[in-house]
Amino acid sequence: MGIDEYAEQESEDSGDSSGCLFSLPGNVTVRKSEILTSGLLSGGKFVSSRSIRDALLAEYFVNGSGLFLSRAVSDDGNRTMRFGSDVSGVMNVTERMVLGDVD
Count the neighbouring beta carbons within 10 Å of the beta carbon of residue 36. Answer: 16
Nearest CA among 14, 34, 13, 38 for reference residue 100: 34
Q: Which residues contact 59 (CB under 8 A, 6 or more apart)?
A: 48, 49, 94, 95, 96, 97
Question: pLDDT digits over 22-65, tens only?
Answer: 665 555 657 788 999 999 999 999 999 988 877 888 899 999 99
**Per mean pLDDT, which range of 6-10, 20-24, 73-77 is the poorest?**
20-24
8 Å CB contact between 84 and 71: yes
Predicted pLDDT of residue 28? 61
Per-residue pLDDT at 84: 92
Contact between 93 and 2 under an 8 Å Cβ cutoff? The reply is no
- Do 33 and 65 contact (CB within 8 A), yes or no? no
- Is the entire prediction scored with pTM above 0.85? no
Reply yes or no on whether the pLDDT at 21 is more than 90: no
